[in-house]
Structure 1
Amino acid sequence: MSRILLLLSLLACFAAHATEPDRRIAITIDDLPWQRMGTTPAGEVAGRHRQLMALLRQAGVPATGFVNEGKLEVDGVVQPERLAMLRDWLVAGFELGNHTHGHLDLHAVGLDAYRDDILKGERVLRPLLAGFGQVPRWFRHPYLRAGRTREDRAALEAFLSGHDYRIAPVTVDNGEWVWAFAYANVLDEEPDTPGRAATLERLRRGYIPYMLDKVDYFEKQSQALLGYALPQVWLLHANELNAVAYADLVSGVQRRGYRVVTLEEAMRDPAYDRGAEGYDGRYGPSWLHRWAMGEGRRGDFFAGEPVVPKWVLELARVESE
């Protein structure tokens, strides 16, 4: 009898595993070489960059970084030490893509200026990648703003395709930048006291579950919209907060059953063939929400998304995500 019970238990276990979603996630990190290059104390940038790179190597998973070449420059001149920060990513085995030169808002500047800024954003990147036997192939829209009309989106997509770029979407969107601004404000502006250390730790401890809750939320959105767990694309930035939290974020999604995969692998899912269709507003929502709005989903479908707490907004000195 005990053997029968053991067999039934094993069969139940196998059945449970067989119904588990195939959870995969690609990690993308924007605003390289450093998100707040203009406001971070100059003497601190290199050390914080090294701290982030150490966590990237510790996590041991693929990631794709997206470069704003304007952040390489001072008065229009590329700074060798900033260019070396990008080289560190490539030496470590990570891929780099184009995020425009000046982090422009397509909806503010229009297609012509935006296309010019994309090309300006590869003047350093393209020869840098060539030294590693690579070419730039991924493009990420700043602010995730992809065009106010179907015609603008199509024109931009044709331009990018003509320059051998693929659009890197975002499905797990979040208010990570708010947490990061709060963390940097406290780190750079408050005196080095136990109180500051406590606030920084409170931010780090709050940030990690917030980000993981966002992953959970968008997995549920994927299941509701598509009927399966889409290989997700997660948005992060190169900043002080991720320089202390990145490895914990990766281990957190891994504990949830996710495999961290390349952007290339995630993009093989046919759902991404939809592109950025479905949303014509001024903002830049998750691609999952774009598709949902394109299908006419409203109201309750979007309920339950985690929000940045008010105390974090106040520390970041912003009104909303």
Structure 2
Amino acid sequence: MRPTAVLRCLLACTLLSLSALAAAQAPAKAPPPDRRIALTVDDLPWVQLPAVPTASILGDHRRLIAAIRAAHAPVVGFVNEGKLEADGKLQPERVAMLRDWLDAGAELGNHTYSHADLHAVGLSAYEDDILRGERQLRPLLQARGQTPRWFRHPYLRAGRDPQTKTDLARFLGEHGYRIAPVTVDNSDWIWAAAYLRTGEPHPAKRHRGKPHTDALKARLRRDYVKYMGRKLDYYEQQSQALLGYRLPLIWLIHANALNADTYGELIAMARKRGYRFIGLDEAMRDPAYERADAYTGPAGPSWLHRWAIGEKKPASFFAGEPTVPEWVLNLARLDSE
């Protein structure tokens, strides 16, 4: 071998050794953040039932079920059995809608019969409404070797005093239920109302004009997904500020046309942010969910905010939560959230 070739070989070996040494001394790449989220859907089989004919919402329902199948993400749906009836009679096609959820791999929980407001009806009537809300649900699940085990408060109103909360928790435990909290709260129902009204002229003078177009519906879908992304960011920040880590979040949406048309985009948006979809069981294993719900006010806030209220966090702690834009409120014919 010529001397120049030897020198080149030695130089190459030296450079390789230096590169290997630098790589060994470089700090290890940090693992990606642990972002986990459980998805839940309220007001099954459909928000607008029983006020509308079943046939009018079946297309939307089928799109939602197809999107659930395609997403391959665990989901728990919460049933209002009153929506299964029309004029006091059980509607088989609405029960079949619940079977569609089960066939798609979803789990079903109890959301009371009538979507009762605990703060309005009182504990005794509320407990009756819970039991009335499992007359179809329990046999549906038993036919598949399951039992109803999750309960969610309508309006997220969970009691105006500690004793009511304690008594309700005891009642639910006696009937095999656990409360399913919500840590990603939002106003998807306002966006959904706006979405339904995009084909209607507004009766108010300042909104008169041609009915809204498909382009506006597309804008609603696009901005709604962005709004939900900001909600995920906000509640992740809240969990870090309150708990010091990223809590496995529990996300609430509703069974409505808007979510039927954006379900896949919502899942994709969350995954792009690094979220891994998990079951409600896994989320609830986090010890934070054993914290007491100290909130006894009239509203239904996120459990993160309930815990923060229990710790007497200042008003500044709650600042910055994303809100529904005014143009969406106008479409929904609402003055505020």
Measured against the shorter chain, the TM-score band is over 0.9
**Following TM superposition, by how much is the alpha carbon of 1:78 offset from its aligned partner in structure 2, in angstroms?**
1.0
The answer to whether the aligner puts 1:262 opposite 2:274 as a matched pair is no
**Following TM superposition, by how much is the alpha carbon of 1:315 offset from its aligned partner in structure 2, in angstroms?**
1.0
Amino acid in structure 1 at the alignment position of 2:247: L
**Following TM superposition, by how much is the alpha carbon of 1:280 offset from its aligned partner in structure 2, in angstroms?**
1.1
In structure 2, do the counterparts of structure 1 residues 283 and 12 end up closer, same or farther at CA, with 3 Å as the change threshold? farther
Asked whether the 8 Å contact 2:36–2:276 carries over to 1, the reply is yes
Aligned residue for 1:102?
Answer: 114
**Following TM superposition, by how much is the alpha carbon of 1:65 offset from its aligned partner in structure 2, in angstroms?**
0.2
Q: Deviations over 1:5-49 (max 9, x none)?
A: 6775787674322xx431100000000000112444543211110
The answer to whether the aligner puts 1:74 opposite 2:86 as a matched pair is yes
Aligned residue for 2:256?
Answer: 239
Alignment of 1:1-321 (within 5 A): 14-17=28-31, 20-40=32-52, 42-187=54-199, 189=200, 195-275=212-292, 277-321=293-337
**Structure 2 Cα separation of the partners of residues 245 and 7 of structure 1:** 50
Amino acid in structure 2 at the alignment position of 1:313: L
Residue segments in structure 2 that go unaligned for 5+ positions in a row: 1-14, 202-209
In structure 2, do the counterparts of structure 1 residues 73 and 225 end up closer, same or farther at CA, with 3 Å as the change threshold? same
Q: Deviations over 1:41-78 (max 9, x none)?
A: 54321111001111111111100000000000001111
SS at match of 1:15: coil
* TM-score, normalisation: structure 1: 0.93
**Structure 1 Cα separation of the partners of residues 273 and 111 of structure 2:** 30
Larger Rg computed on CA atoms: 2
**Following TM superposition, by how much is the alpha carbon of 1:102 offset from its aligned partner in structure 2, in angstroms?**
0.3
In structure 2, do the counterparts of structure 1 residues 150 and 244 end up closer, same or farther at CA, with 3 Å as the change threshold? same
**Structure 1 Cα separation of the partners of residues 242 and 26 of structure 2:** 28
In structure 2, do the counterparts of structure 1 residues 170 and 3 end up closer, same or farther at CA, with 3 Å as the change threshold? farther
**Structure 1 Cα separation of the partners of residues 122 and 26 of structure 2:** 57
Amino acid in structure 1 at the alignment position of 2:234: Y
**Structure 2 Cα separation of the partners of residues 157 and 282 of structure 1:** 19
SS at match of 1:204: helix
Residue segments in structure 1 that go unaligned for 5+ positions in a row: none
**Structure 2 Cα separation of the partners of residues 14 and 259 of structure 1:** 23
In structure 2, do the counterparts of structure 1 residues 12 and 85 end up closer, same or farther at CA, with 3 Å as the change threshold? farther
**Structure 2 Cα separation of the partners of residues 289 and 311 of structure 1:** 27
SS at match of 1:186: helix
Q: Cα RMSD (Å) of the superposition? A: 2.0
**Structure 2 Cα separation of the partners of residues 305 and 10 of structure 1:** 44
In structure 2, do the counterparts of structure 1 residues 194 and 177 end up closer, same or farther at CA, with 3 Å as the change threshold? closer
**Structure 1 Cα separation of the partners of residues 321 and 20 of structure 2:** 41
Amino acid in structure 2 at the alignment position of 1:196: T
Q: Deviations over 1:95-154 (max 9, x none)?
A: 000000000110011101100000000001000111111000000000001001111100
SS at match of 1:308: coil
The size of the alignment, in residue pairs, is 316
* TM-score, normalisation: structure 2: 0.89
SS at match of 1:235: strand
